[in-house]
């Protein structure tokens, strides 16, 4: 006899991990997670610095090549997404950032209410999952499963960045997730003490592993969900493929979709839910004509300013040869040193236009660094500032490439598709250059590699931005939540897919407007809130 489940979750990422934990542990439901990636990543990925060894590899990442972008000179930037149990939290740089109060209050206003999805409504979900090692106050909690801490090691370059930013008039901010976001400071990260060492705290380790002996939670990895089974207007299960064999599993209560912004949209369309003309174009039978499926794609993107230093600095070379052995031993023996940091330790939140609400998150990487599809600078001693746009106005899309579940969807990132996005980015490049001209950086910088001092006019900098812009790995919004009055809304404010019973979406694809910061923490809070909503609706 086939095992029965109350809820089947398609995808095992950050949001799904939290939702599954709450549905099982707090509400007593039987839950099945179907995850296409492996159950475990490499042991090295648990070390705070370990993820850097995998950034340019496909072990636990699926590399999506976006469609050619005319505004980028025909480039199609690579946009990676996680492929492992725990999703993005298993492979990311572990930055813990919630965004701004105004982000969530903006969601509530758009939905036509003052409470649901507001900052005050979301704060208990952020606090409830958090085990913070530094803060225990109105903004932070210490009783949750997600370990949150500051880096165990701070680079000399990071210290210079903190001082230079203050030299330009930016205030020091000890907590970007507290009373205000603007300012410069050290970022908190999702890692903490596990046994003897500081290790990654991802969705699997924090939320799923504690339920390993609970028979109400089942997890099948290496399982690609191909289609949602819909009968008489209701989602009753899913079809998935594992080891080349097709299976169908039934959900007694609901099917929950948490496969990520690209693949959740793809799954709905493969299931006949989406823009009717687009589905017919690929031979997919239309179950429900939902125009907004795949629209409203948003992602944070960034452009670098890179300079070399006159002497040894930062983390260049620390992962090779004798330095690597020394750092590894320091970590294993003393739980300290460069292995206890992700390398991205600090950032500056500000608005180049001078407003109080930040529009840019400027990261400091203590090394010369570029993404895998940009190779015009070689790693060496230096510093990389990346200006990440927090609330892009351009909207991209996710569409089917074909009706074959093996095929990746077509992703149109549309970076710089709105003139304001480019304007703010170029304005932030000027501030990044000012940082290089401010002590303690000024006397230590040898050369500006990128854009290079020869590039000063707007036309050449625009061309440079188009050649180097990259994702900050935060795709959101392809199945946006919205009020009944919005014809492009895919789910309602209780995350139910319009026109289909028994089907909800519980990941970052439901976000109507991208939060002003890294999206792993919001994903987990969405998962927590989704579980509470679902349990309430099934009382």
Q: Which active-site residues does the annotation give?
A: 474
Cβ(248)–Cβ(228) below 8 Å: no
- Cα angle 63-408-286, degrees, rounded to a multiple of 5: 155
Cβ(28)–Cβ(539) below 8 Å: no
b/e sequence 453-472, b meaning 16+ C-beta within 10 Å: eeeeeeeebbebbbebbbbb
Q: List the beta strands (DSSP E) in 310-444.
A: 346-350, 360-365, 382-389, 397-399, 410-412
Could you give the 3-state DSSP secondary structure of residue 95? Answer: strand
Residue in the block written with tokens 């225990």: 136
List all residues 6 or more positions away from 201 whose beta carbon is below 8 Å from its beta carbon: 89, 94, 145, 146, 147, 148, 190, 191, 192, 194
The C-alpha atoms of residue 404 and residue 53 are separated, in whole angstroms, by: 32
Closest CA to 514 of 300, 320, 366: 300
Pairing of strands 183-186, 503-505: unpaired
DSSP H helices in 375-499: 419-436, 458-468
Q: List the beta strands (DSSP E) in 201-357.
A: 217-221, 223-231, 234-242, 245-257, 273-274, 288-289, 301-309, 346-350
Crossing angle of the two packed helices 520-537 and 14-25, in degrees rounded to 10: 30
Could you give the 3-state DSSP secondary structure of residue 428? Answer: helix
Crossing angle of the two packed helices 156-167 and 419-436, in degrees rounded to 10: 110
Pairing of strands 301-309, 382-389: antiparallel
The C-alpha atoms of residue 302 and residue 429 are separated, in whole angstroms, by: 10
**Radius of gyration of the chain, Cα coordinates, nearest whole angstrom:** 22
Please give the DSSP secondary-structure letter assigned to residue 208. Answer: I
């Amino acid at each position: 006899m086939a095992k029965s489940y109350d809820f089947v979750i398609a995808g095992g990422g950050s949001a799904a991990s939290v939702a599954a934990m709450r549905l099982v542990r707090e509400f007593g439901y039987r839950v099945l997670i179907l995850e296409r990636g492996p159950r475990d990543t490499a042991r090295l990925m648990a070390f705070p610095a370990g993820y850097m060894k995998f950034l340019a590899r496909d072990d636990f990442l699926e590399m999506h090549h976006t469609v050619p972008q005319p505004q980028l000179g025909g480039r199609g930037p690579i946009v990676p997404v996680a492929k492992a149990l725990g999703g993005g939290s298993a492979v990311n740089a572990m930055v813990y950032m919630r965004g701004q109060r105004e982000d969530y209050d903006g969601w509530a206003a758009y939905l036509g209410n003052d409470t649901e999805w507001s900052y005050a409504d979301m704060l208990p979900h952020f606090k409830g999952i958090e085990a913070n090692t530094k803060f225990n106050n109105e903004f932070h909690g210490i009783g949750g499963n997600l370990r949150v801490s500051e880096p165990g090691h701070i680079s000399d370059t990071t210290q210079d960045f903190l001082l230079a930013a203050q030299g330009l008039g930016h205030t020091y901010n000890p907590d970007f997730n507290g009373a205000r976001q603007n300012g410069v400071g050290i970022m908190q990260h999702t890692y903490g003490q596990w046994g003897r060492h500081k290790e990654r705290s991802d969705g699997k380790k924090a939320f799923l592993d504690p339920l390993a002996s609970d028979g109400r939670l089942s997890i099948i990895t290496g399982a690609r969900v191909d289609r949602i089974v819909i009968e008489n207007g209701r989602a009753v299960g899913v079809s998935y493929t594992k080891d080349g064999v097709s299976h169908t599993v039934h959900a007694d209560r609901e099917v929950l979709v948490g496969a990520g912004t690209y693949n959740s949209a793809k799954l709905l369309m493969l299931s006949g839910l989406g823009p009717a003309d687009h589905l017919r174009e690929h031979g997919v039978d239309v179950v429900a004509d939902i125009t907004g499926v795949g629209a409203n794609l948003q992602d944070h993107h960034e452009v670098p300013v890179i300079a070399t230093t006159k002497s040894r600095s930062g983390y260049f070379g620390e992962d090779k040869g004798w330095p690597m052995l020394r750092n590894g031993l320091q970590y294993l023996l003393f739980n300290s040193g460069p292995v206890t940091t992700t390398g991205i330790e600090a950032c500056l939140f500000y608005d180049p236009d001078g407003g109080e609400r930040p529009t840019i998150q400027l990261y400091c990487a203590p090394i010369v660094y570029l993404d895998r599809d940009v190779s015009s600078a070689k790693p060496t001693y230096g510093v990389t500032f990346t200006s990440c746009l927090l609330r892009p106005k351009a909207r991209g899309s996710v569409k089917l490439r074909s009706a074959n579940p093996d095929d990746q969807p077509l992703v149109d990132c549309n970076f710089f598709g709105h003139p304001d996005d480019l304007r703010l980015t170029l304005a932030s490049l000027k501030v990044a250059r000012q940082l290089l001209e401010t002590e303690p950086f000024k006397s230590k910088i040898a050369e500006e590699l990128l854009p290079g001092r020869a590039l000063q006019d707007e036309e050449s900098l625009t061309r440079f931005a188009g050649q180097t812009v990259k994702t900050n790995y935060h795709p959101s919004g392809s199945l946006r939540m919205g009020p009944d009055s919005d014809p492009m809304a895919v789910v309602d404010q209780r995350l139910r897919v319009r026109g289909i019973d028994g089907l909800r979406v519980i990941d970052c694809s439901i976000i109507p407007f991208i939060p002003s910061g890294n999206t792993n923490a919001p994903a987990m809070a969405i998962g927590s809130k989704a579980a509470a909503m679902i349990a309430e609706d099934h009382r």
